[in-house]
Structure 1
Amino acid sequence: MSDQFPGWHGTTIIAVRKGGEVVVAGDGQVSLGQTVIKGSARKVRRLSPGGHDVVAGFAGSTADAFTLLERLESKLEATPGQLQRACVDLAKDWRTDKYLQKLEAMLIVTDGAQLYVITGAGDVLEPEHDVAAIGSGGNFALAAARGLAEKTDLSAEEIARKAMAIAADICVYTNGNLTVETIQP
C-alpha cells in the first residue's frame, strides 16, 4: 500500500454564454482515488455580495475552493460591481500568499456580463467562444459545448446540460447529477 494519500478527483464545471445569459453547470461527483465518496455535491454557487449577483463554480479540493470563494466574496464586497478587479485581486493574493499558494482548486466566475477562469498560477482568463470549463471532465465538456454552440440553436442551458452529459459519459470522475445556475447581466 502506498504511503501517499490518494488524490481527490472530481468535478466538471462548464459555463456557456449565449442569448444574453450565462449558465454555469457542475456535476455532483466527489471521488477519492477510485472510490466515489459523494454523488450530489453542490459545486456551483450563487454569491450576492453587496447585492450584486455572481455565480461561481469550482473544481479541485473542496476545502480549498471554499477558502477561495470566501476570499472572492470579500473582494467583491470591497469592490462592488467590479468583478474583474475582484478576480484580479484574488489571483494576485493566490499567487503571492504562501498559504494560498498551496490551495488546489480552480474557479469559474460570472456576473452575467463578464466570465472568467481563475487559477492559482495568477491567471484571470476570459474564455474564447463564450465557453469555459474546468475540472477532470472539463476538456470533454468544453469540446462538446463548443461544437453544440456553433452548430445548433440550443439555449445556453441546453448546451451546458448536453455538454455535461457527454462529459459524464466519457470521464469517470464526472456524473450526471447537475447543479445549474443562470445569470443575466
Structure 2
Amino acid sequence: MVQFHATTICAVKRPDGDICIGGDGQVTMGETTIMKNGAKKVKKIFKGKVLTGFAGSVADAFSLTDKFENKLQEHDGNLKRAAVDLAQFWRSDKATRSLEALMIVVNEEDLLVISGNGEVIEPDKNVVAIGSGGNYAYSAASALFDNTELDAESIVRKSLEIASSICVYTNDNISVEKL
C-alpha cells in the first residue's frame, strides 16, 4: 500500500499568552509524488478557544479532530481531560485503534501532543512540532523561542520555512491559526 506523508505542524505558546499553530500544505504519496500543495492541517475548534493541528493520515486526522471536539464538549472545555479521554478511546476502540495520526492541541492553559498509543504529552517547553519535518521545525522553533523576542506566529512561520528547506515532505505553503 502506498503511504501518504503528511506533514509538519508546529505550535508555540509564549508566556504572555501569545499562541500560534501552523502547518505546511504538502501531502505526499509514496516517496516521490506530491499530491497536494495547499492542504490545511490546522484549525480552530470549540468556539475558537482551542487550536489543533495534525500529522499523519488526513482522513484519520479529520475523524480524530471531530472526536476530540466532542470530548471537549463532554468535559466542558477541559483540554487535558478531553485529551486523556480521546487517547484512551483512540487506543481501545476497535474502529479507531488503527487510525494513524498525531495531534497537537493548545488553548490558553495547555499545550499537548496526543497519539494513538494512548499518550498525552505535555512538553517541557511551550514549543512542539510533529510530522515528517517535525524535528527540523522543533529545533528551529526552540532556538527562536529561547534566543529571540519574536512573537509566536513569527516563530511558527520561520520554523516551518526552515523545515521546508530541509524536509522533502514539507513545503512553504504555510497556514497558521492564532488564539
Q: Does 1:37 align with 2:35?
A: yes
Deviation, structure 1 residue 127: 1.1
Query: Is contact 2:6-2:58 (8 Å) kept?
Result: no
* Alignment counterpart, residue 174 of structure 2, candidates 147, 165, 178: 178
Find out whether 1:72 has 2:68 as its counterpart.
yes
Q: Contact (CA 8 Å) 1:52, 1:81: kept in 2 or not?
A: no
8 Å CA contact retained: 2:18, 2:151: no
Could you say which residue in structure 2 is the equivalent of 1:13?
9
Give the match for residue 127 of structure 1: 123
Separation in 2 of the partners of 1:75 and 1:150? 33
Which amino acid counterpart does residue 67 of structure 1 have in structure 2? S
Where do residues 87-106 of structure 1 align in structure 2 (5 Å cutoff)?
87-106=83-102
Deviation at 1:10, TM superposition (A): 2.0
> How far is the alpha carbon of 1:52 from its aligned partner?
6.0
Output the TM-score relative to the length of structure 2.
Answer: 0.96
* One-letter amino acid of the structure 2 residue matched with residue 164 of structure 1: L
Give yes or no for contact 1:23–1:156 (8 Å, CA) kept in 2: yes
CA RMSD of aligned residues (A): 1.0
Match of residue 117 from structure 1: 113
Cα distance in 1 for partners of 2:79, 2:116 equals 17
Structure 2 distance, partners of 1:140, 1:24, is: 16
| Long gaps (5+) in structure 1 | none
SS across alignment from 2:66: helix
- Provide the C-alpha distance between the structure 2 equivalents of 1:148 and 1:54, rounded to a whole number of angstroms: 23
Partner of 2:152: 156
Task: Give the aligned length.
Answer: 177
Work out the CA distance in 1 between the residues paired with 2:48 and 2:156: 23
Report what 2:81 is aligned to. Answer: 85
Deviation of residue 168 (structure 1)? 0.2
Percent of pairs with identical residues:
49
Distance 1:154 1:182 in 2: 15
Give the residue type in structure 2 aligned to 1:25.
G
| Deviations 1:165-184 (CA, angstroms, capped at 9, x unpaired) | 1000000000011110111x
Question: Which letter maps to 1:107?
Answer: M
For residues 135 and 105 of structure 1, the distance between their equivalents in structure 2, rounded to whole angstroms, comes to 9
**CA distance, structure 2, for counterparts of residue 20 and residue 125 of structure 1:** 20
Partner of 1:23: 20
CA–CA distance in 1 between the matches of 2:77 and 2:126?
21
Tell me by how many angstroms 1:81 deviates: 2.2
Q: CA deviation at 1:157?
A: 0.9
